[in-house]
Amino acid sequence: MAQSPLLPVEDALARILATANAPLESENVELAKALGRRLATDLAARRTQPPCAVSSMDGYALRASDIASTPARLRVIGASAAGHGFDGAVQAGEAVRIFTGAPVPDGADTVLIQEDARAEGDFVEALVSEPLGRYVRRAGLDFSAGDVLLEAGRLLGPAELALAAAMNHAFVSVVRRPRVAILATGDELVAPGNEPGRDQIVASNNFAVGAYARLAGADVIDLGIARDDFASLEASIRRARDAKADVLVTLGGASVGDHDLVQTALRREGMELGFWRIAMRPGKPFMHGRIGDTRILGLPGNPVAAIVCAIMFLVPLVRALTGDKSAGADPSRPAILGADLAENDLRQDYLRATITGLYEGLPIATAFTRQDSSMLGILAKAQGLIVRAPHAPAAKAGEPCRYIPL
């Protein structure tokens, strides 16, 4: 049977993201538990910040007109501290001792900082003049009630959490975390900590792929290792569906060899195949499909290929499901080649590389000589992936390139 042409990476990503054209449903969570979540709706301020004019320095609240000529002597009629404002009003010739963050009393329009004043009992002498409004933070300087300050899709980091708290929100509506089920496959695999047999290796892909999914905002369901038989594979696929997985990631077995049963098992469980085989290296035998509401990503078994596919396809899918409007954006950055590269063939290459130093303001990307997709040791040393377009001509050291940070 003739195989279909390899699908370009850009087309593959577009088709995957088309299955996530709307974020998942929302849920309300405590603000303290919202770190790394994405807002499901716009968030508007419930109060004005600051709610009244406050001082930005320690000093004396007074009228600017009273210190237009200096030295000027004013009577101190009270004090204003944060949380304990002065109840009266400042009249001509009067001042109120004030501290940072304290309300500016009625009648006062300026703050004279304490370094420019000399206290004398119940009086203060202004040594310099200050313009109207000096060291006064007006009401609403930061924001006003009703202002939308955090928009839907915004990732909540430390600054956003602080802002939401200042806006007086104890709970926020966020997009539910996508549930990503990860299934390693193959009789050759054993879990870490076990003694592999003569023909076995230790499973590792699930740890990296799961980590990328979590960093992108997913909850990960580890389905363990399925054996190379339909009963084991189909039972694991059903477990993913029972867990209401939004995404099922299979690791290995996606080709069509005698021992590659994953695609057939998925079809037997009702998968509609979207595409299979991509014009990329590593990662050609990548598969995409769907079983009901569960999106299927079939990653290759070679560790580096699985990780590159997770970076290029799983991470954007998870981000899209959380409402990230930039999920499909190009993650690559400009750099300068640190070593020559041969011409490329019909597949888009992702070359493990060191990213060091600067040349004319750009980092220097140097590909490792060995690029075998089974070698995790080189991947752990790499800081980036040099992206080589299909049919790219040979390139010399010093020429521009693009890389994806690791």
pLDDT tens, 352-378?
A: 999 998 998 999 999 999 999 999 999
- Contact status, residue 96 vs residue 112, Cβ threshold 8 Å: no
**Is 2 a member of any domain?**
no
Name the token pair of 131. 């313009």
Domain check: are 238 and 280 in the same one?
Answer: yes
- Which pair of tokens denotes residue 196? 């592999």
Longest dimension (CA), the chain: 100
Tokens representing 280 are: 């990329």
pLDDT higher than threshold 50 for residue 1: no
Q: Do residues 279 and 317 share a domain? A: yes
Q: Is residue 262 part of a domain?
A: yes
Is the pLDDT at 2 greater than 60? The verdict is: no
Average pLDDT over residues 203-220: 97
Please indicate, yes or no, whether residues 214 and 288 belong to a single structural domain of this protein.
yes
| Residue 189 and residue 310 share a domain | yes
Taking alpha carbons only, the member of 405, 358, 348 closest to residue 382 is 405
For residue 357, being part of any structural domain is answered with yes
Is the same domain home to 89 and 194?
no
Please state the domain count of the chain.
4
**Residue range of the domain that includes 104:** 54-137
Residue 232, domain member (yes or no): yes
- pLDDT-derived band at 183, boundaries 50, 70, 90: very high
Closest CA to 151 of 381, 323, 386, 384: 323
Nearest CA-CA partner of 361 in 390, 333, 392: 333
Same domain, 195 and 303: yes
* Residues 255/285, Cβ–Cβ less than 8 Å: yes
pLDDT, one tens digit per residue, over 231-261 is 999 999 999 999 999 999 999 986 665 557 9
Residue 43 has pLDDT above 70, yes or no: yes
Tell whether 216 and 307 lie within a shared domain.
Answer: yes
Residue type at position 148: V
pTM above 0.85, yes or no: yes
**For residue 214, what pLDDT is reported?**
97
Same domain? For 162 and 36 the reply is yes
Evaluate whether residue 145 is within a structural domain.
no
The CATH number given to whatever domain includes residue 353 is: 2.40.340.10
Q: How open is the CA angle 100-105-108, to the nearest 5 degrees?
A: 100
Beta bridge partners of residue 175, listed in sequence order? 26
Of 249, 365, 385, the closest CA to residue 318 belongs to: 249
* 386 plus 400 within the same structural domain: yes
**181 and 291 share a domain?**
yes
Confidence class for position 21, pLDDT limits 50, 70, 90: confident
Question: Does a structural domain hold residue 194?
Answer: yes
Mean pLDDT taken over the chain: 95
Phi, psi of 114 (to 5 degrees): -65, -25
Q: Would you say 233 and 240 are in contact if contact means Cβ atoms under 8 Å apart?
A: no
Classify residue 159: in a domain, yes or no.
yes
Domain-located, residue 1:
no
